[in-house]
Amino acid sequence: MATSEPGREAGTGFIVSRPSRADARRNFDALLDAAREVFAAEGASASLEGIARRAGVNIATLYRNFPTRQHLFETVYLDEVEALARMAAELESLEPWDALENWLRQFVSYATTKKAIYDAIAHRAEMFVSGRDMIHAAGRPLLERAQRAGKARTDVTFDDVLFLVNGVSGANFVQEAQRDRVLAMALDGIKNNG
């Protein structure tokens, strides 16, 4: 069973802790993956039963891990933010532009999920502030590193980059390939081609 960190209640803006038992952790992670995909495809009103089916578990397992739909929304959102932060650290070994580009492509996936559940968690201002701070702490150094290496334009700020990439992720593309082409054009606008 998922338990909160000591002193923190699930659903209060903090991610629910992953269970310690391996089988329970697999179910928890499968539910998060399924929820991320289903919310991105169908929006916040997607069926919880459908999420459980996609994860290969029963609905009781979903509710044991996430007692309410709100718990699931918040955990998916914060898990995405934490994944972006981890990814930034993992990309440090790549060339500066490659690291930034890979991270921004992952950011588009995050933004798509966030867009799908935004209204459901919009009232959680402290959660968004915390998430925004984590995203800036992870992504800004990647941009600055690419700028120092002469690979990214020096006249753009990290906020500029986020607005640009958020614009791409917020569009309703007919095909994923179209989104990828538009994102490549946006990234080309950030890259120092001189």
Start-to-end Cα distance in the chain: 54
In whole angstroms, give the CA distance from residue 1 to residue 94: 38
Sequence-distant (6+) residues with CB within 8 A of 184 are none
Helix (H, G, I), strand (E, B) or coil at 152: strand
76-190: CATH architecture: Orthogonal Bundle (1.10)
Q: Helix, strand or coil for residue 142?
A: helix
Three-state DSSP class for 43? coil
Q: What's the gap between Cα 70 and its chain centre?
A: 17
Q: Scan for tokens 């334009």, then name that residue.
A: 153
Question: Is the pTM here over 0.85, yes or no?
Answer: no
What is the per-residue DSSP string for 89-105? HHGGGS-HHHHHHHHHH
Per residue of the chain (194 residues), give pLDDT as tens: 333 332 233 344 445 677 888 888 999 999 999 999 898 888 888 999 999 999 999 999 999 999 988 889 889 888 888 989 999 999 999 999 999 999 999 988 888 777 777 767 766 777 778 888 999 999 999 999 999 999 999 999 999 999 998 888 877 777 888 888 999 999 999 999 86
Indicate the domain borders of the chain: 76-190
